[in-house]
A = this chain, B = another copy of it.
Amino acid sequence: MNKTVTFGEVVMRLSPEGNKKISQSNRLEFYFGGTEMNVGASLANFGNEVKHITCVSDDIVGAAAISTMKKYGIDTGNVIKRNAPLGLYFLEVGAVMRSSTIAYNRAHSAFSEITPDMVDWEKVLDGCDWFHWTGITPAISEGAYQTLREGLKTAREKGITVTADPTYRKDLWNYGGDARKILAEMLGYSTIFIGGVNEINEILGTDHTGDKDGFVKAAKELLERIPSLTRVFDKVRHGGNASAQKISARAWNGKEYLRTEELEISHVVDRIGTGDAYAGGLIYGLQHFDDQKAIAFANAACALKHTIEGDVNLVSADEVMQVVEGHISGRIKR
């Protein structure tokens, strides 16, 4: 059984029922999520032993966030509590050509107050074989960045596989950190890159195109310039709208270009967390299969997440394998 550590902010998502706007309702559904925790929960579902390292509010909201992680089978023994609120966001869910809209309230969250001394990375990573981080974390605060760096250093020293999903969200980088420089530094401690041409261009300052050739060139340049990285895994959305999507996955594993069939999600249930489902599926895939099957597993996991409510991909490895094997008719299982 793989032992995985994820590190990142847990946030609360609050949204009116269905496609309502906040002003049309008097109640909000909520979920606890967070890109790294979502990956961790997905891996726990697949059978990994998972520790999530985070910092939550020391109040009834933080307590509920911890409960939720426990429910997903995540080890919360290293979760820190601070007298500051849990980050959260409001979501009005769009449909068809109407975009979903998000309003964040996370700038002064408990997690943003984290500092390296709060996490004993030696102990946390002891006996673990996988570490996953995303570009959200070093964007949040100097402390979050430093804490991540310490974790990555320790992971590196221990020879732990490190997957990096360096999503670049410009709006989050408000504390003064140099996004490009910091992300490149963090990648220097990482093994596997989860991202596409956009992310590579942003980090390297290049302008590769999004087609197959551009992707391969970008991936090659990335592996050259950041030698710790050995493979690049990307997912692709083909057209679609807020209610329907087509997705596939592709990779450059240092030797060859790989890609999957396209999966169609004709009726999207929930789009939040589909990228994290891809990452979770990919990690599980890399833990158990060759690269080709790993991206098929990742793509199928991502597809299934579109049919699951909430942030976390509550499907089993078996359910994903069914889709990998082409069972996409959705017949009732009695």
Q: Which of B67, B271, B332 touches A102 (beta carbons < 8 Å)? A: B332
Q: Which of B20, B86, B100 touches A333 (beta carbons < 8 Å)? A: B100
Q: Answer whether A105 and B105 are a contact pair too, CB < 8 Å, given A309-B24, A328-B97.
A: yes
| The stretch of A53-61, A195-203, A249-257 that contacts the partner chain | A53-61
Residues of B contacting A118 with CB < 8 Å? none
Nearest B residue to A31 via CB reads B26
**Binary flags per residue of A211-244, CB closer than 8 Å to B gives 1, else 0:** 0000000000000000000000000000111111
So how many copies of this chain end up in the complex? 6
| The stretch of A144-152, A179-187, A262-270 that contacts the partner chain | A262-270
**Binary flags per residue of A87-108, CB closer than 8 Å to B gives 1, else 0:** 0101010111111111111011
| Alpha-carbon gap, A266 to B243, bound state (A) | 8
- B28→A64 contact, CB < 8 A: no
Q: Answer whether A28 and B57 are a contact pair too, CB < 8 Å, given A20-B309, A85-B105, A309-B19.
A: no
A173 within 8 A of B: no
- B242→A330 contact, CB < 8 A: yes
| Alpha-carbon gap, A197 to B101, bound state (A) | 38
Q: Answer whether A329 and B239 are a contact pair too, CB < 8 Å, given A68-B71, A97-B263.
A: yes
A290 within 8 A of B: no
| The stretch of A127-135, A155-163, A281-289, A300-308 that contacts the partner chain | A300-308
Given A70-B73, A104-B334, A272-B332, 13 further pairs, Cβ under 8 A = A22-B64, A23-B63, A23-B68, A23-B71, A59-B103, A85-B105, A88-B105, A95-B267, A97-B329, A98-B304, A100-B332, A102-B332, A242-B329
